[in-house]
């Protein structure tokens, strides 16, 4: 199983981890917020839909001053 992982950090501290992977006939994006420990998953029918969601979420984090790696 292939997994794409991106981390967002601000002021040297990790803010969130986003993971995108194929799972059970679809693609899932798992988002973990570091400060609250909250975890949420988003299921998509296709990989391009999931990747587009991931890109938009990362762009929003960058607008908020986070560095994405």
Q: Is 54 helix (H, G, I), strand (E, B) or coil?
A: helix
Q: Is residue 2's pLDDT more than 80?
A: no
> Residue 1's pLDDT is what?
60
Q: What share of the chain is helix, strand, coil (3-state, %, to 5)?
A: 25, 50, 25
Whole-prediction pTM value? Answer: 0.87
Q: How far apart are CA 4 and CA 22, in angstroms?
A: 10
Mean pLDDT to the nearest integer, 11-24: 94
Q: How many domains does the chain have?
A: 1
Residue 29, domain extent: 3-68
28-56 per-position pLDDT tens digit? 999 999 889 999 999 999 999 999 999 99
């Amino acid at each position: 199983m292939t997994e794409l992982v991106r981390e967002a950090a601000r002021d040297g501290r990790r803010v969130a981890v986003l993971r995108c992977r194929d799972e059970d006939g679809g693609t899932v994006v798992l988002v973990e917020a570091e400060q609250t420990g909250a975890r949420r998953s988003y299921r998509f029918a296709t990989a391009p839909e999931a990747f587009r969601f991931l890109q938009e979420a990362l762009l929003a984090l960058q607008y908020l001053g986070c560095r994405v790696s």
